[in-house]
Amino acid sequence: MNKNNTSTTQTHTRRTFLTRFWLLLGLAALAELVWVAVSFVKPKKQKQTAATPSIITAGPVDSFDLGSVTAFPRGRFYLARLENGGFLALSRECTHLGCTVPWVEEENRFVCPCHASTFDIKGVVTNPPAPRPLDIFPVTIENDVVMVDVSEAVERKRFEVGQVVRGY
């Protein structure tokens, strides 16, 4: 009887060990799956390198037509010249999931290819799911030359007239 009891205890101990081992492996696999999913959905932060200047000279004020949008791939922004003559430097990243948003000249708007969010020339959301307008970069105009500071994008909740920089 003692021999049987020892065998049952060993089987129970072995079974408990294997159950816990497989549970631990399952939890590790689940944690890795969650990490991969979060990494996929979370947009990457762009690192500023020494080769990329933080102030980009866009050009003379007169070289931008009213109502135009000019892409600056090196700075990862669009420079929009509004009908009133003001300038906005808009980030190229959608505020939904960080996809690159192209300017569609024929439709006069930005259209996100990932989830169909659209933005007007001021970066304001005209069709969700984007939760807020496109981020902007500070614009300065010195001696009739437009310059954009791309060191850090400014997150905004809505468009405000004070965000537009006018070249006089």
160: in domain: yes
Q: Based on the fold, state whether residues 75 and 103 are members of the same structural domain.
A: yes
59, β-bridge pairs: 146
The torsion angles phi and psi of 96, rounded to 5 degrees, stand at -85, -65
Residue with tokens 């070289």: 63
Three-state SS for 20? helix
Q: Based on the fold, state whether residues 100 and 161 are members of the same structural domain.
A: yes
Q: What is the pLDDT of residue 168?
A: 59
The residue range of the domain holding 23 is 1-42
Q: What is the pLDDT of residue 17?
A: 87
Residue with tokens 């169909």: 116
Q: Based on the fold, state whether residues 82 and 148 are members of the same structural domain.
A: yes
**Whether the model pTM is above 0.85:** no
Residue 138 has pLDDT above 90, yes or no: yes
